[in-house]
């Protein structure tokens, strides 16, 4: 059973079998990812690209093979379209400062949505402060879906860029990113898609989506923390200046001038997270081997089961019930603070996330400070959902 591939799942917390429903914050790692990282440090520990000795060559091959695996996972035209980054946050900041900034004049506009994670809000606010541009927001409705009938009005001749999340980490909403990209491109507006919550759950095809940039977070898709990739169209990457300066991103340096390296090395200054990149490649291969279609099918079953089970808890309110969503449930229980719920059910071995989930504007919309969030992955079970519901009912009983 694939669940057996994840060693961290098989332990007890507070004397109870662990029930891990915090996958949107970080997913578990399969043994093949752990082994890939361990094997690098045990057998291939060397710096990459700049060595002629055996270990350096092996490490370089593994690192670049990982780039190829990730390119296959998201159907990038070439591995050279992928830049290794620390995660989606760095990917967004890189695009903001190297692609978008030079295109902005005071009064220009950047378009995001109400569903964004803080990492796809704050970099654009910083950029607006630097350039005099304005941030505009696609609104959402009570179901947690974007109000797209206002999109044409929001996109004006001053709109220079759009950045939208693929899947909401707080509500699970799956945005129609292909439609959003098409509408923006019809008005010559480049688009970045934040795919942090998409690659573990959905088939991602950047060529089909048509986006200009796409960010991937490693630790959300069963890979190491501090790893990720940024996909960019080749013409954009070639035209963009480097984000960091240092070793590896150069082809020639004198005291008079520097000639930058080719893409993607131009954006990968210094010694990278080699083990993390190799581990992320192993995670991509794991998803490809299992099959994202099989993962999505299993999660659809779990999603329906969880929704029905949660609705049996009296006084429980699910925030955001989009027609298309991933297995993420933000909820409140009348009269009980989310932190109290999270603390109580932890004593039953159940791990959920409580708070605003780095999406404060979403909870401002619902006029609540935060929520409980149960986020599932394909390795979770219906029995674990039953334990969650039982623990929630016991938390209710304590406060009644």
Supply the residues annotated as catalytic: 358
Strands 258-260 and 316-319: unpaired
Cα–Cα distance measured from residue 390 to residue 85, given in angstroms and rounded to the nearest whole number: 41
Interacting residues of 341 by C-beta distance below 8 A, sequence separation 6+: 333, 352, 354, 372, 392, 395
∠ CA 383-387-390, rounded to 5°: 135
Number of helices (H), then strands (E), in the chain? 13, 17
- Residue pair 357/169 in contact (Cβ under 8 Å)? The answer is yes
Cα–Cα distance measured from residue 313 to residue 311, given in angstroms and rounded to the nearest whole number: 5
Burial of 122 (0-12, 13-18, 19+ CB in 10 A): middle
Tokens representing residue 142 in the block: 């009570």
- Residue pair 210/178 in contact (Cβ under 8 Å)? The answer is yes
Question: Shortest CA distance to 148 belongs to which of 120, 170, 177?
Answer: 177
- Residue pair 338/170 in contact (Cβ under 8 Å)? The answer is no
């Amino acid at each position: 059973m694939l669940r057996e591939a994840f060693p961290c799942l098989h332990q007890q917390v507070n004397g109870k079998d662990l029930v891990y429903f915090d996958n949107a914050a970080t997913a578990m790692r399969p043994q093949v990812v752990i082994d890939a990282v361990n094997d690098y440090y045990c057998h291939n520990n060397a710096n990459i690209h700049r060595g002629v000795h055996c270990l350096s060559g092996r490490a370089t091959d593994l690192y670049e093979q990982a780039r190829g695996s990730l390119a296959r996972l998201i159907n990038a035209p070439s591995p050279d379209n992928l830049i290794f980054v620390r995660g989606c946050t760095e990917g967004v900041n890189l695009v903001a400062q190297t692609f978008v900034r030079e295109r902005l004049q005071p009064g220009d506009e950047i378009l995001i949505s109400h569903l964004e994670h803080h990492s796809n809000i704050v970099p654009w606010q910083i950029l607006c402060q630097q350039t005099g541009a304005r941030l505009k927001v696609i609104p959402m409705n009570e179901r947690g879906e974007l109000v797209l009938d206002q999109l044409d009005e929001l996109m004006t001749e001053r709109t220079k860029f759009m950045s939208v999340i693929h899947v909401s980490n707080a509500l699970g909403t799956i945005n129609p990113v292909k439609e959003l990209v098409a509408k923006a491109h019809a008005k010559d507006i480049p688009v970045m898609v934040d795919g942090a919550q998409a690659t573990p759950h959905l088939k991602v095809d950047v060529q089909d989506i048509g986006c200009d940039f796409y960010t991937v977070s490693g630790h959300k898709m069963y890979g190491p923390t501090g790893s990720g990739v940024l996909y960019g169209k080749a013409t954009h990457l070639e035209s963009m200046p480097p984000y960091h300066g240092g070793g590896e991103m150069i082809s020639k340096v004198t005291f008079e001038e520097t000639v930058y390296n080719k893409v993607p090395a131009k954006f990968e200054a210094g010694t990278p997270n080699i083990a993390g990149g190799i581990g992320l490649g192993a995670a991509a291969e794991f998803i490809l081997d299992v099959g994202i279609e099989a993962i999505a099918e299993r999660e659809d079953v779990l999603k329906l089961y969880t929704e029905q089970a949660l609705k049996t808890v009296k006084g429980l309110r699910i925030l955001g019930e989009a027609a298309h969503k991933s297995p993420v449930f933000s909820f409140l229980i009348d009269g009980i603070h989310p932190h109290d719920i999270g603390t109580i059910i932890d004593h039953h071995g159940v791990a959920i996330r409580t708070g605003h989930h780095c999406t404060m504007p979403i909870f401002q919309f619902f006029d609540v400070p935060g929520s409980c969030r149960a986020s599932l992955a394909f390795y979770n079970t219906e029995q674990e959902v039953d334990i969650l519901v039982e623990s929630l009912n016991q938390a209710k009983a304590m406060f009644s």
